[in-house]
Amino acid sequence: MTKLQELLALGQSVWYDNISREVLDSGEMQALIDAGVVGVTSNPSIFKKAIADSHHYDAEIRTLSGAGKSTEEIYEALALADIARAADLFRPVYEASDGLDGYVSIEVDPNLAHDTAVTISEARRLFKALNRPNIMIKVPATAAGVPAVETLIGEGINVNVTLMFSLQHYEDVAYAYIRGLQKLAANGGDLSRVASVASFFVSRIDTAVDKALAASGDDEALALQGQIAVANAKNAYGRFQDIFSSPDWDELAAQGARVQRPLWASTSTKNPAYPDTLYVDTLIGQHTVNTMPPETVDAFIDHGTVASTLTRDQDEAEEMVAYLDDLSIDFNAITQKLQDDGVQSFSDAFKALMKAIDEKKTALQPA
C-alpha cells in the first residue's frame, strides 16, 4: 500500500494539482491513479504552464488556427480535451467510490469572478460541453461567486469552490451548498449524485501572516511563524464538523446528500525553511481532500508521515489565530486581500495564456 493509499484509508483523498498533455500522453496520470491519486484539479496558471511552456499542443494550435478559430476558442478546445481525457481516466475511480472521488476540475474564466450571472452561465456551458458526471466546475468564493454556487448545486452541477482563506469565506460557501441542496431536493433532484468541495488555501496564509508577525516586534509572535495557516485550516475543519452535523444537514443527509468536503489547496511549502510536507502531514483527517502539486506528491511519498493529525490541538489552533488580534494584526483584512490577490493572479495567468497562444498562432503559421 502506498502512502497515498494509506491517506485514503484514513479518510483523506489525494487529488493531483496539475494537468498537461504530456502527463496524459506519457502514462504518468495513470501511474498516479495506480499509486492512489483519486482526482485532478486545474487552474489558469496550470494551463498556462502546460500550453505556453511546451510544444505538446503546437500541432493542434496550428490546425485550429488554420480553421479560423479565435485565441479563446483554441484555448477552450485544448483545455476541454485534456479535462475530458483526464475525466475518462478517472471514471473507474468515480464508479468504484460511488461518486465520492474521481473528479476532474476546470475553472470558470477568472475574469468573471465578480459577475454572478455570467459565472452561472459559463459553469452550465462547461458542464454540458464536457458531459461527464465526474466533472467539477471551479467557482471562486467571492461575493459574486457564492450565490452562483448555490444556483449550480441546486441544478445538480458539481462545484469545486475555490480561493477560500477565512472562516467567513468557508461558512458562506458551506451554507450556500446546503441551500443549493435544499433547492435541488425541492425540485425532486437526486442529492446523492451531486458533489462539492470547499477549497481552503493554506500556504499563502503563512506567507502573508509571517511578514506581519515579523513586523510586530513581539518575540512571542515570532514563535507563531509557520503555524497560523495550519491553525486556520483546523479552525475551518471545526466549522465543517459543526455545520455538517446540524439538523438542517441531517435532513439532507437522510435524502442521500454528501458532505461538502474541505479541500486543502496551496499545499506546497513556500518558505524553504519549513518542511516540504508541512501542509500535508498536519492536515490529515476524515472527509477531506488534499490537492497536491507534483513536487508535494513526490515529497510526501518519499518522507511524509501518515497519521490522523487534523483534529489535534484544535483549541490551541483557535487561540493562535485569536492571539493575532492581541498583536493588532487584522487577520480578516489579510485573508480578504489574499482572496482578492488570488483572483487577480488567476486573471493575470489567464490573460498571459491567451497572449502566449496568440503568439504561438503567429509563430506556427506556414511560411
Question: Which residues are tagged catalytic?
Answer: 138
Nearest Cα neighbor of 244 from 288, 283, 200, 280 is: 288
Cα gap 45→94, rounded to integer Å: 26
For 26, the 3-state DSSP assignment is coil
C-alpha cell at 54: 511546451
Half-sphere exposure of 209 (CA within 13 A, CB side): 33
CA dihedral (97, 98, 104, 109) in degrees, to 10, reads: -150
Nearest Cα neighbor of 275 from 322, 234, 226, 228 is: 226
**For residue 363, what are the contacts with CB-CB under 8 A and spacing of at least 6?**
none
Cα gap 304→307, rounded to integer Å: 10
List Cα–Cα distances, 278 to 42, 152, 270, 302, in angstroms: 22, 34, 10, 13
Nearest Cα neighbor of 341 from 118, 133, 169, 142 is: 142
For 309, the 3-state DSSP assignment is coil
Beta bridge partners of 263: 199, 289
